[in-house]
Amino acid sequence: MSSHPPIRSYVLRQGHFSSAQRHACEFLLPRYGIAFTEASIELNQVFGRTAPKILEIGSGMGETTAEIAAQHPDKDFVAIEVHAPGIGSLLNQIEKRGLTNLRIIPHDAKPVLQQMLIDASLDGIHIFFPDPWPKARHHKRRLIQPDFVSLLCSRLKPGGYLHIATDWEDYAIHSLHVLNSEQRLINTATD
């Protein structure tokens, strides 16, 4: 049996972890977080309503995530992030803005998608500025890979969308190639 550790798309950096972010992780995570579980979850039940469900992978410090959720109260948003300061920052924004349509899963997106989210359960997926991993020897860590995109497509409802943005030309070209190779996707942006 192979015992290779999984190739991760992130490295947990130390970075600055403010007391407000630490406090949020301790006290707000139980309220606005969804704990990782190996069993699938029912998102309509989590939010207590039937509404479109949008997943964001790698919400970073969460400003864009919170702003989009505030502007679309008719939709429910689930953010996935592994970086503790970012998780704390987003939790504080959810609390401050009183957002009832945004939750965070503090875990690696891959097992979350594989185990928690069921097929055809998402209306949209956002991946904004994923880590570019510019060095050739690190390209295998890039999130946008054929297997991962295939997993994303399985979790999207028919007609659902995948919105990816990057400001790294080389990653954009790579992503375009991977996305164009996925039969279930139609490119609605210009190349």
Query: Should residue 103 be labelled a site residue for ligand SAM when binding is judged by CB under 6 A?
Result: no
Q: Is 147 a catalytic residue?
A: no
Residue 127 Cβ vs ligand SAM, minimum distance, rounded to whole Å? 8
Binder of ligand SAM out of 52, 75, 114, 131 (CB under 6 A)? 131
Query: Should residue 129 be labelled a site residue for ligand SAM when binding is judged by CB under 6 A?
Result: yes
Total number of residues that touch ligand SAM (CB under 6 A) = 20
**Phi, psi torsion values for 165, nearest 5 degrees:** -130, 140
User: Catalytic one among 131, 147, 170, 191?
Assistant: 131
Query: Should residue 115 be labelled a site residue for ligand SAM when binding is judged by CB under 6 A?
Result: no
Q: Which of residues 136-175 bind ligand SAM (CB under 6 A)?
A: 143
Q: Quick one: tokens of 108?
A: 């690696």
Query: Should residue 88 be labelled a site residue for ligand SAM when binding is judged by CB under 6 A?
Result: no
Binder of ligand SAM out of 33, 47, 66, 81 (CB under 6 A)? 81
Contact residues for ligand SAM, defined by CB under 6 A: 9-10, 57-60, 64, 80-83, 86, 108-110, 128-131, 143
